[in-house]
Amino acid sequence: MKNTPNQNIKPLTLNRNSDFCLEIGGCDMQNLAAKFGTPLYIYDEQTIRQIAKDYKNAFNNYPKVNMMYASKAFMVQSVAKLLDSEGFGFDLVSGGEIYTVLSAGLSIEKSVFNGSNKNYDEILLAIENNIGRISVDNFIEMAMVDLAAKSLDKKVNILLRITPGIECHTHEYIQTGHLDSKFGFDLTQIDEAIELINDEYENLVLKGLHAHIGSQIFETKVYYDEIEVLLKEIRRIKDKYDIELSEINIGGGLGIKYNQDDTPPSIYEMADVILKSIEDNTRKYGLEKPLIYIEPGRSIVGTSGVTLYTVGSSKQVPNGRKYVAVDGGMADNPRPSMYQAVYTADKVEEEKCEEKETVTIAGRFCESGDILIKDITLPKLNAGDLLCVYNTGAYGYSMSSNYNRVLKPAAVLVNNGQADIIVERETYEHLVSLDKIPERLNRYE
pLDDT digits (tens, 9 = 90+) for 3-60: 999 999 999 999 999 889 999 999 999 999 999 999 999 999 999 999 999 999 999 9
pLDDT for residue 104: 98
pLDDT for residue 177: 42
Out of 21, 27, 353, 366, the active site residue is 366
Q: Are the C-beta atoms of residues 321 and 327 closer than 8 Å to each other? A: no
Q: Are the C-beta atoms of residues 298 and 256 closer than 8 Å to each other? A: yes
* Range of lowest pLDDT (71-80, 287-296, 352-361, 391-400): 352-361
pLDDT for residue 227: 96
| % the chain with pLDDT above 90 | 90
pLDDT, one tens digit per residue, over 66-83 is 999 999 999 999 999 999
Q: Is 21 a catalytic residue?
A: no
Q: Are strands 410-415 and 305-316 parallel, antiparallel or unpaired?
A: unpaired
Of residues 398, 421, 406, the one with CA closest to residue 74: 398
Half-sphere exposure of 81 (CA within 13 A, CB side): 9
pLDDT for residue 184: 80
pTM over 0.85: yes
pLDDT, one tens digit per residue, over 166-220 is 764 543 433 344 445 667 899 999 999 999 999 999 999 999 999 999 889 999 9
Work out the average pLDDT over 90-95: 98
Mean pLDDT of all residues belonging to the chain: 94
* Gap between the Cα atoms of 437 and 444, Å rounded: 12
- Alpha helices per DSSP H over 296-405: 298-301, 335-339
Q: Which domains does the chain have, with CATH numbers?
A: 5-42+302-432 (2.40.37.10), 45-301 (3.20.20.10)
Instruction: Name the DSSP letter for residue 349.
Output: B
Work out the average pLDDT over 385-400: 97
* Gap between the Cα atoms of 127 and 315, Å rounded: 55
How far is the CA of 149 from the CAs of 113, 134, 157, 198, 230, in angstroms?
14, 11, 10, 16, 27
pLDDT for residue 165: 76
